Amino acid sequence: MGGRKKEYFLMHKDIRVCLMEISDDGILGNVRRNKAAAAHFPLGGQMNNMKFHDWWRDRAIPRTRHGAKNALQKLGYSSTNSALVNNLALSLSDCYWILPRGEGLSWKDTNLFTNDFVDTFGELTINRDHIIDLRKETRFNCATSQGELQKKWCIAPDGRRYMIKGNYGNSWQQSLNEIFASTLHKQQGFLNYTTYYPVKVQVDGNREGLGCMCYDFCSENVECISAWELLNTVKLRTNESWYYPLKKICLKLGMQEKDFTFFMDYQIMTDYLITNTDRHMNNIAVMRNPDTLELLGFAPIYDSGNSMFYNIPYSQLTRIRLDEIKTHSFIEKESRLLQYVRDRSLVDLDKAEMDFGIYKNDVDENQIRISPLTELYERKRERLKAFQKGNDPWKSKLYR
């Protein structure tokens, strides 16, 4: 196990932050840190080497991504870790990459923000029945991207980088949910969100399906650090809510408390409205300047597809108990997330009336979901109105 080991510098742009041994199948070995560049070492790995090993593993495409096994076989990789190494651990989220010791490559030569690339791995997971091997067209594929849905990075004619996302199963609802959430944020006049657009994608059986796309909010001058990575800079107590540790870390890094609470208040309430049950710590992030390391604030709200009861069968939509919804976030129970909100009036519920016509773009047999989804959303809106008037859903009999 492990295979032959080679030495690589972990680079932050052109700064060498450490020298590490990596096996052919992507397993990290010894690490020697460059103390002179300690400030540029990944935040999530600064505490100790075990945390750094975790940071490195998290950098690879998840093995659980839909279509990943097939794509690895087609591309000749033994694992997503070996794909990571083969692609120099390059990302469109930050400015870290690996430089094989003895090679003369630079950030200018390799980075995905300014160099052409083809996301072959993404191509194979999005279009699994129509295999196109594009490896010969570019030196670097894109081998780091969090999340389990099929994803593919592309370059627009104007040079902007954008991501295409697919869906689980035979419904397009997750992609439609992203567009629905974008519309909600637009109607609210909230500015810090990622806009998703509908796109046609190829799905199983050579059929045309519906996905969504968004432009990259990172660049050579702005990189993204997940809340999970930030939380790995401190010791967390068992069963502790991660809200307050995250707040403490953000404030320590220079964020103003009013900016933290404003963003969190808005995100928690709008997630509640659309029943987003997947606001885990990799779906919240902060932005920083990779050169000065200055914190720039929260990343635009992204990844809201796992919402609007997307995984609940039609026959069960009328039986949902809204007070029992569980979520992957700071705490497990959705209604209790509202206890963190300081400014209850931040979301204008008059501007939260939504047009559900977008869901007519789903496959025919799923369009029967529109009526119950509309009713569930309106019930959530009424509950949020009651919350804004002082009712606490984790206490009040109104919600039982």
CB 248 within 8 A of CB 241: no
Q: Phi/psi zone of residue 33: left (φ > 0), alpha (ψ -120 to 50 degrees), beta?
A: beta
Using alpha carbons, select from 219, 295, 235, 216 the residue that is nearest to residue 260: 295
Q: Check residue 87 and give its pLDDT.
A: 82
> What domains does the chain contain, in order, with CATH numbers?
5-115 (no CATH), 223-394 (1.10.1070.20)
For residue 123, the model assigns a pLDDT of 55
Q: Is 392 helix (H, G, I), strand (E, B) or coil?
A: coil
Residue type for position 291: D
pLDDT at 84: 76
What does the angle CA 70 – CA 128 – CA 198 come to, to the nearest 5 degrees? 130
Record the tokens describing residue 176, joined without a space. Answer: 């439609």
Do the Cβ atoms of 199 and 213 come closer than 8 Å?
Answer: yes
CA distance 41 to 52: 9
Q: Which pLDDT score is estimated for 67?
A: 55
Q: Measured between alpha carbons, how far is 12 from 96 in angstroms, rounded to an integer?
A: 5
Contact partners, residue 219, CB within 8 Å, separation at least 6: 113
Instruction: Give the position of tokens 């029992």.
Output: 324
Q: What is the mean pLDDT of the chain?
A: 86
**Stretches in the chain below the pLDDT threshold 50:** 1, 65, 124, 126-148, 398-400
Please give the pLDDT value at position 143: 36
- Looking at residue 341, its pLDDT comes to 97
d(CA 199, CA 178): 12
CA distance 267 to 373: 20
Contact residues for 312 (Cβ-Cβ < 8 A; gap 6+): 320
- Pairwise CA distance, residues 222 & 95, whole Å: 9
Q: Which residues make beta-bridge pairs with 197? A: 213
CB 124 within 8 A of CB 134: no
Q: Are strands 223-226 and 285-288 parallel, antiparallel or unpaired?
A: antiparallel
Q: List C-alpha distances in Å: 261 to 193, 264, 298.
A: 16, 5, 11
Residues in the chain: 400
pTM of the model: 0.89
SS3 state at 97: strand
Number of H helices, E strands in the chain: 11, 11
Residue 96 has phi, psi (to 5 degrees) of: -90, 150
Count CB-CB contacts under 10 A for residue 296.
15
Contacts 24+ apart (CB under 8 A), 66-70: 66/125, 66/148, 66/149, 66/150, 66/166, 66/168, 67/124, 67/125, 67/126, 67/128, 67/150, 68/121, 68/125, 70/124, 70/125, 70/128
Tokens of 396: 């009040």
Contact present, 35 and 45 (Cβ < 8 Å): no
Q: In the numeric block, which tokens belong to residue 31? A: 């690490």
CA 280-218-18 angle, 5° bins = 85
